[in-house]
Structure 1
Amino acid sequence: MATAPDRLLRRLEWQVIRRLDGRLQGSYRTVFRGSGIDFADLREYTPEDDVRHIDWNVTARLDEPYVRQYTEDREVTAWLVLDLSASMRFGGAERGKDSVLAELAVTLARLFTLGGNRVGAILYDNRVQRVVPPRGGRNHVLHLAGEITRTAALAESRRGKKDTGTTDLDAMLRLAAATARRRGVVFVVSDFLGDAGWEASLGRLTMRHEVVAIRVVDPMELDLPDLGLVVVEDAETGEQVLVDTSDPLFQQRLRAGVDEREAAVAAAMRRAGVTAHLVGTDQDPLQALVAMVRRTKARRA
């Protein structure tokens, strides 16, 4: 009998990965790729060259600047930094933010391993952290999918009613920097709702890696409809309050709070030098990933 991770991977391979791989025609491999490390040759320096590649010994001998050329390293090590905190459980039973995170993670992992690359993962909650070392192949993707499910369940079991802390995104990003030593591609998948002050760590991560921030949101987080009297719970702190969603004053205050929060996240991304790709729980993952790659290629053009 097929396990839940196997069913998820088979569904995504049939519904998303085959179509995505065909539509992108390998472009994700050229957009997200590693840097060369094998020395190939020397040539004279030109103004467009990176000064870090100057061979100073040869330059001193010939009295002309020369740069080293490297063979392109086509193997990419990709890391998935996955936020498994309480706020990621927001959304409908069929397709909450946690479900979208799992779909994105499995799809990205399978796409990269199809290209012969290795994928690792950092599964993070304030109470539970799990590192999955990078490997290749379909079986590894299945293992990764299972670890996401198991780690999320473990984090939830350790989440007590008296917990009041919000997600420590700074600690999650510092863990990613300490774990991913070799230069590669780092996908940070989160709603980026948590303690402030994480942008410096995100910015430092970009100094070594190509960083792709994927922000998962639910439409109801941005625009709560009129549902009458409802109990609203803060997913991070567990605090509950009864509110009247039909009250114009409540809607006004809610809108102001949402605008302030969104502006703060956008400003933090700018300070980190990272463009966030927004993926909604109501979005087709195929279209979301195609758009993400196209935006990345357009910024490089």
Structure 2
Amino acid sequence: MFGRLFGKRPRGAEAAASGPARSGAALASIGARQAETLLRRLEWTVVRRLDGLLQGDYRTLFRGFGLDLADLREYRPGDDVRHIDWNVTARLQTPHVREFQEDRDLSAWFVLDLSGSVEFGSGAVRKRDLLSDFTTVMALLLTRYGNRIGAVLYGGASDAEASMIPPRSGRRQLLHLLDRMHATPAVCPGETRLRDLLERARAVAKRRSVMFVVSDFISAPGWQTSLAMLARRHEVVAVRLVDPLEMALPDLGLVVLQDAESGEQMFIDTHDPAFRKRFAAVAQNREAELRLAFARAGVECLTLSTYAPIDLALLQFMRERRFRQGADRGAPVGAT
């Protein structure tokens, strides 16, 4: 999306990039300190609220995938057709699917879009800050119970190939992920090709895993098919990063906007109500297209806003997910 060309003081990684040249060792030390500081802040502000909701004594909200047969039940719309037991189906004349004993551990991948549009934020929080906070919180909750985490990081169109961090467990892996995430260039010129990121994730994730695709989904067309292909093998959660200014423009008068990825600049009159109406209509159409794409791919979507606390959004998403899982198993509403 567009970012306003106002003079702002560089912060975080931008401040480091705009300052004097530093040695590689010094930059690595700064990245490690940033990761540790972020980790400690989120442990106190978010993780303690969420701990216990993702994990239970015997079952996790994002479940592992076992191989031992546990039970058979009738097929329901949305079930994986690969789990149909054709012998039982032929005998009973009703489609039945196999249910497997769940493993207690899982592998989780963070598929991270770090392209130029993610740098945008109309307030104190950028979409990249949301991405960093979400990845830190989920990775911390998963690794503390022995689960493995990996990542695929995409910096933009100039990336020849998205970089990959193999899945491992432990706090050192978490800090390594955060350090690599902060070290990835904030802005790479050129249009985002989300399809390349999704295809890279599909190629490197050999074992059935949970995939968190974290992006604002502002991309060249064609990524919808790749997302659906990824969801056929893995449990995919689309984590969408949004900013209210991308949905509706306020009356700011004459402003200059710049595309965060192409660098194109435009001089517009936001005082014109017809222009603001057209902008809102385009944003609403894009919302409808995204909802349709996620529904067709069979992917759940968690929306994070730069103007809303991340812990409240996660809590609401987890409650809704528990409700859906309980309904799928025939459990009474509110059962855990």
TM, length-normalised to structure 1:
0.84
Residues 106/70 of structure 1: CA separation in 2 closer, same or farther (3 Å cut): same
Look up the equivalent residue of 2:175 and give its one-letter code.
Answer: L
Please report how far the alpha carbon of residue 152 of structure 1 lies from its aligned counterpart in structure 2 after TM superposition: 3.1
SS across alignment from 1:31? coil
Match of 2:177 among 144, 163, 169: 144
What pairs with 1:1-301 in structure 2 (closer than 5 Å)?
A: 3-22=33-52, 26=56, 30-37=60-67, 39=68, 47=74, 52=83, 71-92=101-122, 94-124=124-154, 125-128=156-159, 129-153=162-186, 156=187, 159=188, 163=189, 165-300=190-325, 301=327
Tell me the CA shift for residue 270 of structure 1: 2.2
Deviation for aligned residue 1:268? 1.7
Query: What is the distance in 2 between the residues matched to 1:116 and 1:270?
Result: 32
| Aligned counterparts of 2:74 and 2:244: Cα–Cα separation in 1 | 48
* Structure 1 residue 22 displacement after superposition: 4.2
Cα distance change of structure 1 residues 262 and 132 upon mapping to structure 2, 3 Å threshold: same
Deviation at 1:71, TM superposition (A): 4.6
1:132-178 C-alpha deviation (Å, 9 max, x unpaired): 1111112211111111010134xx3xx3xxx4x42111111111111
| TM-score where L is the length of structure 2 | 0.76
Contact 1:28 1:293 in 2 (8 A): no
CA distance in 2, matches of 1:114, 1:217: 29
Local SS of the residue matching 1:230: strand
Identity of aligned residues (%): 46
Q: CA RMSD in A?
A: 2.7
Higher helix content, 1 or 2: 1
Q: Which runs of 5+ in 2 are unaligned?
A: 1-28, 88-96, 328-336
Which ranges of 4 or more aligned residues in structure 1 deviate by more than 4 Å?
A: 22-25, 45-56, 67-71
The aligned amino acid for 2:197 is M
**Distance change (3 Å), C-alpha of 1:297 and 1:138:** same
Q: What amino acid does structure 1 have at the position aligned with 2:125?
A: R
Aligned residue-pair number: 280
